[in-house]
Structure 1
Amino acid sequence: MSAGDYPQVGQGWAFPPHWVRPVPGPASVVTDHGEERIERSLQVLLRTLTGSRVMRLGFGSGVDRYVFEPRTPDACYRLADDVRRALLLGEPRVIVDSVEAVAAEDADDRVDVVIAYRIDRHRRPNSLVVPFYLAGAR
């Protein structure tokens, strides 16, 4: 997909910021756009602690409080609810279809949060899996 497919997304610096320098010429900052920009934005939103940004205290998801929680169905439900709320408040460019937190079968301390979203009403659905590590049964 090209940048023209998602005009509402825009183009901006890649995260984390880094530069490339072609052999003959000045260095330039790496940018991203389209689906890649949205996916990185979602990951930044979910990995940011609520209150850690000085100019946007409400930005973030608050999922850091689940780090030492046991991996129970209740904790998975609350984690999915917090992720859903953070996406609705913090990322207006996507339409969230569903958020589901499921315990990973191959790790005792991991919960995979599966996010089904669309960039706008007329595009195909996308999904993102973000692993979170909770205090598992040891």
Structure 2
Amino acid sequence: MNTTGDYPQVGTGWAFPPRWLPPAAGGRARVQMNDGAAHVAQALVLLLRTGIGSRVMRPGYGAGVDAHVFEPRTAASCHRLAEDVRRAVLLGEPRVIVDDVTARLDPAEDGRVEVAITYRIDRHRRPTSLVLPFYLAGAS
């Protein structure tokens, strides 16, 4: 699905995880690509799942959310997690405008915190949301 026409400014890249497509008749195998809004959403997930300092050539890239794993499940730890996510997206993904980042405890699953990011790819478009689960220490 080609969506570059909708968002020409975001570019095209490899889909993650990398997957090889079968070769066309007599052709070569090629890597699956993505573009548009899907490309940006996938880049956000990669950014948030990357630990700060884990990329040699970009040591400041990542969210550092792994530092929150052993924190108690409190409103204060949710606030710190949301602020780390907001900072990571603002610094690591220049193609988006962040409207809101919230983190809330999931009452149905112990230790799970849902982080919702409301963002826009273009300042004139409707916001899009991305919700990622993170896990903290058990109830305090």
TM-score range, shorter chain: over 0.9
Find runs of 4+ consecutive structure 1 residues off by over 4 angstroms: none
**Structure 2 unaligned runs (5+)?**
none
Choose which of 81, 89, 92 in structure 2 pairs with 1:90.
92
**Cα RMSD over matched residues?**
1.3
Matching of residue 40 in structure 1 with residue 42 in structure 2: yes
Equivalent AA in structure 2 for residue 83 of structure 1: V
Match of 2:22 in 1: 21
Q: Within 5 A, what are the aligned runs for 1:49-60? A: 49-60=51-62
Match of 1:71 in 2: 73
Aligned-residue offset at 1:30: 0.3
Same amino acid, percent of matched pairs: 62
Q: Residues 86-117 of structure 1, C-alpha deviation per residue, up to 9 Å, x if partnerless?
A: 00000000000000000012101100001000
The alignment covers a number of residue pairs equal to 138
Aligned-residue offset at 1:19: 0.7
TM-score after normalising by structure 1: 0.96
Match of 1:2 in 2: 3
Aligned-residue offset at 1:23: 5.6
Alignment partners' CA distance in 1, 2:71 and 2:58: 27
TM-score after normalising by structure 2: 0.94
Alignment partners' CA distance in 2, 1:137 and 1:100: 19
Alignment partners' CA distance in 2, 1:23 and 1:36: 24
Choose which of 128, 131, 138 in structure 2 pairs with 1:129.
131
Match of 1:114 in 2: 116
Q: Residues 19-73 of structure 1, C-alpha deviation per residue, up to 9 Å, x if partnerless?
A: 1114623211100001100000000000000000000000000110111111100
